[in-house]
Amino acid sequence: MVIKPKVRGFICTTAHPQGCKAIVKEQIDHVKAQGHTENSPKKVLVIGASMGYGLATRISAAYSGGAATIGVIFDKPASGNRTATAGWYNTAAFEQFAAEDGLYAKTINGDAYSREIKEKTIELIKKDLGKVDCVVYSLAAPRRTTADGVQYTSVLKTVGQPYTNKTINLKDNTVNDITVEPATEEEITATVKVMGGEDWKDWIDALKAADAIEDNAVTVAYSYIGPDITHPMYADGSIGKAKDHLFETAKELTKNGGVRAYISVNKALVTQSSAAIPIVPLYISILYKVMKEKGVHEGCIEQMCRMWNEKLFAGVTDDEGRIRMDDLEMQDDVQSEVHKLWTEIATDNLDTHADLEGYHTDFYRLFGFGADGVDYDEDTDQNVTIPSLM
């Protein structure tokens, strides 16, 4: 069928298989162009491997370090006239390219928070790889059901006070004020349950208990800090509480021994999850403009390839032990320019003050639309299989 984007709210309900494949290939080509990294892990588990930072890390592990990768994803195949999710097409493409390049790549599809998926993953590790030497934890999820059957839903709210600032309505490209209300204690607890470190620790404990992880393996999870304007919404908001917990978990995992656990603080980028945060998309479109003009803009693949090649295994951290992939975003010259544009920005100067085109382009590319060399008017088969799930 001919597949066109259908955007509802913050997501696109269709995805394009050939487009996703072309964009995965672009990412692989980027990593290949950076050259090979020696001495990086060779058996890598990526939890949340189908989109955004997780996918980019999987591609970096495989194509920079030559690693065998197992990806845990939570995606849907096509059914009837519905396309598969973008993560499904990305994973199918990644496995196909990996096979052509002689790289081991297998996938487990299901809820990474569940015990069942942990057990299935561990079974696969033991059968095919024996043990993993690196675990990447890159989940961004709206909810989690814990082992006792309780469902927790995360919220993107402030803590303590309401916060009013500018936001962009991406449907009609207008800038308006938005007031974000504070989360209740219950909502904060739920957000920490979903996006904090508890499940990351469950994964590491389960891998250790099954003797499926090498001694001294590296594990990494992702966080964000950002500038003052985003703090009430992010670093000091409900999601920030969860990220604080993630950071404490990293320290605990390292203290418990057996693994070296890191938090990598990544750059703000358009992904399926960041699109849903109030205020942040406007900040991102200004940031894109400034960083592109300064020639220091990076996407997920540039970020994760740089982390893999230069920082994670060399232990390059800040004073608190965090890997700072937001180093370029947080440079003074970048932030002072962003701040100036932020104070001035309004609907009538969006074109000169923000890279809205870049924002929209990246958003559509998440779902495989807008890739070079793909004819979007052509009939395409939406039914694509992930080789290891056949």
Q: Give the residues lining the site for ligand NAD (CB under 6 A).
A: 48, 50-54, 72-75, 87, 111-113, 138-141, 222-224, 266, 268-269, 271-274
The CA distance from 161 to 16, in Å, is: 42
Q: Which is nearer to ligand NAD, 24 or 51 (CB)?
A: 51
288 among known catalytic residues: no
- For ligand NAD, which is the closer residue by CB, 243 or 353? 243
CB contact set of 165 (below 8 Å; sequence gap of 6+): 177, 178, 229, 232, 233, 279
Chain position whose Cβ is nearest to ligand NAD = 52
**Nearer to ligand NAD by C-beta: 141 or 178?**
141
- The minimum distance between CB 71 and ligand NAD, in angstroms, equals 9
Smaller CB distance to ligand NAD: residue 245 or 353? Answer: 245
For residues 140 and 272, the answer to whether their CB atoms sit within 8 Å is yes
- The amino acid occupying position 196 is G
Catalytic residue among 89, 104, 137, 234: 234
Q: What is the smallest separation between the CB atom of 165 and ligand NAD, expressed in angstroms?
A: 18
Question: Phi first, then psi: what are they for 130, rounded to 5°?
Answer: 80, -70
Smallest distance, ligand NAD to C-beta of residue 183, A: 17
SS3 (DSSP) at 235: coil
Q: How far is CA 107 from the centre of its chain?
A: 17
Min dist. Cβ of residue 24 to ligand NAD (A): 13
Q: Quick one: three-class SS letters along 285-329?
A: HHHHHHHHHCCCCCCHHHHHHHHHHHHCCCCCCCCCCCEECCCCC
96 or 272, CB closer to ligand NAD? 272
First-residue to last-residue Cα distance in the chain: 22
Tokens 């989940």 — which residue?
139
To the nearest whole angstrom, how small is the minimum distance from the Cβ of residue 348 to ligand NAD? 27
**Closer CB to ligand NAD, 135 or 139, in the complex:** 139
Q: Which two tokens stand for residue 119?
A: 């057990």
- Give exposure, 199-235, as e/b (b: 16+ Cβ within 10 Å): bbbbbbebbbebebbbeebbbbbbbbbbbebbebbbb
Give the separation between CA 206 and CA 200, rounded to whole angstroms.
Answer: 10
> How does DSSP classify residue 389?
G
Q: CA neighbours within 13 Å on the CB side: how many for 24?
A: 28
Pairing verdict, β 143-145 and 151-153: antiparallel
Give me the least distance between CB of 38 and ligand NAD, in Å please: 27
| Residues tagged active-site | 234
